[in-house]
Amino acid sequence: MRTMFLILASSLLLSAQDKNVAVKRMTPNLFTDDVAGCVKFWVERLHFEKTNEVPEPGGLAFATLRKGNFELMYNSYKSLQNESGEIPKYFQHGTGLLFLEVDDFEATLAAMQDVPKIAPVHKTFYGSTEFTVKDPAGHLVTFAHFENVPKP
């Protein structure tokens, strides 16, 4: 379901750009019961910076993480009830999947050495070497490296 949503969102963005609607950024917003645990995962392992947080009783309701041009948000399931409109009614729990292209595959693999691999290191038919782990919320994170790809 989430994959279909991401494909639809990407299609809508491309369609909107065709109509001269400028899209500045698209940021994944993942939900969890443990925002603080997810922040720790990204900050300690991949040196992201926590740029924003909103506390709630018993922990964090929300946090934004950033590294370079990449931004990621986590919300607590509990905070979802405070969303406006009918968002809480239509939201469905599920697993998100993030796909990150990295320059230094070995350093990334070392940073994830004690995190269980959902998919071990392997070569893909589309030319990358990659592996997948679970973040503390249960979302899947694939790290990929493409050899011999011209840099922009």
For position 90, what pLDDT does the model report?
A: 85
User: Would you state the CATH architecture of domain 97-152?
Assistant: Roll (3.10)
For position 68, what pLDDT does the model report?
A: 94
For position 3, what pLDDT does the model report?
A: 45
Q: Where are the domains of the chain?
A: 22-94, 97-152
**Res. 83 pLDDT band, cuts 50 70 90:** confident
For 98-140, what is each residue's pLDDT tens digit?
999 999 999 999 999 999 999 999 999 999 999 999 999 999 9
For 39-78, what is each residue's pLDDT tens digit?
999 999 999 999 999 999 999 999 999 999 999 999 999 9
Question: In CATH terms, are 22-94 and 97-152 the same topology?
Answer: yes
Query: Between the CA of residue 28 and those of 102, 136, 146, 150, what are the distances in Å?
Result: 18, 16, 22, 26
- When the candidates are 3.90.1150.10, 3.40.50.300, 3.40.50.2300, 3.10.180.10, the CATH number that belongs to 22-94 is 3.10.180.10
Structure tokens at 65: 């993480």
Predicted TM-score (pTM) of this structure: 0.79
Which of 46, 30, 24, 17 minimizes the C-alpha distance to 137?
Answer: 30
- Give the separation between CA 141 and CA 109, rounded to whole angstroms: 12
For position 86, what pLDDT does the model report?
A: 85
For position 88, what pLDDT does the model report?
A: 84
DSSP letters for 60-105: EEEEEEEETTEEEEEEETGGGGG-STTHHHH------EEEEE-S-H
